[in-house]
């Protein structure tokens, strides 16, 4: 009887708004009791394991205004409910912002990309198995980090920015959007706010419970990518244990403007090394204006891992990150 009852979906109210205003009103009314539901790939695991128990879910997939990819005067806008597959296959994204198309194509598996949304990929919660198992770690309101302990299994965890919690940002699209200088459109019943992608994600030193700046009642409704980096040279690489389904051990996203062999401008971000996509501004500043060469790429790789603090079982991430950055700069 216990096993049977555990397999039954918990009692949750389901709201399926079809217009923006209704969805935002619901989000405002329900607050922290309302779980925002996109493709459900992150949601259903939490519910199945009984480690999250929302009173209600607000399904966003029927709101057409938050779907699709449109060209704007200064770039493109992608609705947050747009599927990962659509982003990976969209001709406009492929031709101007292939960095994002490549990152999207590396998310999980084809089946998950077909239903998973951009908003879901960006807003998914930490993937630390101690936290997901429902243990009372710091992120879950306890007073211990099981991963950062002498016996902790922390092969997939952070190199930088640990503050009680050593979980990493699991998103593949997030570093690409940081590199592309994207802007997040966050909506609520009281209006909109625009947040640079780099500032959208937050670490445990600022808020150990949340991974983004979203407040109760707010919804990520769109992502805007400016023409600033359209048709630049792009590089994305993800290293994972398996090519399908797995989350990154380390990934790198780079947007580079090169003229006459000189790196005129560059933006670099790495994922799965910190709780947020790690922007490598010191590396960017050091190699901007430099002639592209093996020496410059090597220096970039060395600088990228300065200050890394590996855990018991993830020392391999340091040379991995260094080499991915080298490859991105070298092209």
Task: Give the pLDDT confidence of 222-272 residue by residue, as tens digits.
Answer: 999 999 999 999 999 999 999 888 999 999 999 999 999 999 999 999 999
pLDDT surpassing 90 at residue 7: no
Query: Do residues 142 and 69 lie in contact, with contact meaning Cβ atoms separated by under 8 Å?
Result: no
CB-facing half-sphere around the CA of 167: CA atoms within 13 A: 28
Segment 39-53 shows an average pLDDT of 83
247 φ, ψ (degrees, to nearest 5): -80, 160
- Cα–Cα distance for residue pair 301/245, rounded to 1 Å: 27
* 273 within 8 A of 297, measured Cβ to Cβ: no
196-222 tens-digit pLDDT? 999 999 999 999 999 999 999 999 999
Tens-place pLDDT, residues 55-80: 999 999 999 999 999 999 999 999 99
C-alpha–C-alpha distance, residues 327 and 68, integer Å? 33
Contact 186, 223 (CB under 8 A): no
User: pLDDT tens, 79-116?
Assistant: 999 999 999 999 999 999 999 999 999 999 999 999 99
Domains located in the chain, CATH noted:
2-62 (3.30.43.10)
Q: Which pLDDT band holds residue 1 (cuts at 50, 70, 90)? A: very low
Q: pTM score, two decimals?
A: 0.96
Helix (H, G, I), strand (E, B), or coil: what is residue 128? coil
Three-state secondary structure call for residue 193: strand
Q: How far apart are CA 178 and CA 280, in angstroms?
A: 10
pLDDT at 2: 45
Q: Which residues contact 318 (CB under 8 A, 6 or more apart)?
A: 159, 305, 308, 310
pLDDT confidence tier of residue 6, bands split at 50, 70 and 90: low
């Amino acid at each position: 009887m216990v096993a049977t009852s555990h397999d039954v979906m918990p009692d949750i109210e389901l709201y399926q708004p079809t217009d923006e205003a209704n969805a935002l009103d619901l989000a405002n009314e329900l607050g922290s009791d309302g779980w925002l539901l996109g493709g459900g790939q992150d949601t259903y695991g939490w519910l199945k394991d009984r480690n999250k128990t929302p009173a209600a879910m607000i399904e966003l997939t029927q709101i057409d205004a938050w779907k699709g990819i449109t060209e704007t005067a200064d770039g493109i806008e992608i609705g947050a409910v747009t599927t990962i597959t659509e982003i990976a296959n969209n001709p406009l994204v492929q031709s101007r912002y292939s960095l994002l198309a490549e990152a999207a194509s590396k998310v999980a598996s084809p089946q998950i990309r077909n239903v998973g949304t951009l908003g879901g990929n960006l807003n998914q919660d930490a993937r630390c198995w101690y936290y997901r198992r429902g243990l009372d770690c710091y992120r879950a309101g306890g007073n211990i980090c099981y991963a950062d302990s002498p016996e902790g299994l922390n092969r997939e965890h952070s190199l930088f920015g640990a503050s009680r919690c050593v979980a990493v940002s699991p998103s593949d699209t997030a570093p690409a959007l940081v590199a592309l200088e994207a802007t997040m459109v966050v909506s609520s019943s009281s209006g909109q706010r625009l947040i640079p992608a780099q500032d959208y994600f937050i670490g445990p030193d600022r808020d150990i419970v949340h991974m983004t700046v979203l407040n109760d009642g707010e919804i990520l409704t769109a992502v805007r990518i400016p023409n600033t980096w359209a048709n630049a040279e792009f590089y994305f690489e993800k290293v994972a244990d398996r090519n399908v389904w797995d989350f990154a051990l380390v990934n790198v996203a780079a947007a580079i403007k090169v003229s006459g062999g000189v790196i005129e401008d560059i933006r670099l971000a790495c994922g799965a090394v910190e709780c947020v996509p790690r922007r490598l501004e010191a590396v960017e500043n050091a190699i901007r204006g430099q002639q592209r060469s093996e020496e410059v790429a090597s220096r970039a790789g060395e600088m990228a891992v300065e200050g890394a603090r590996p855990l018991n079982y993830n020392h391999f991430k340091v040379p991995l990150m260094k080499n991915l950055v080298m490859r991105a700069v070298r092209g």
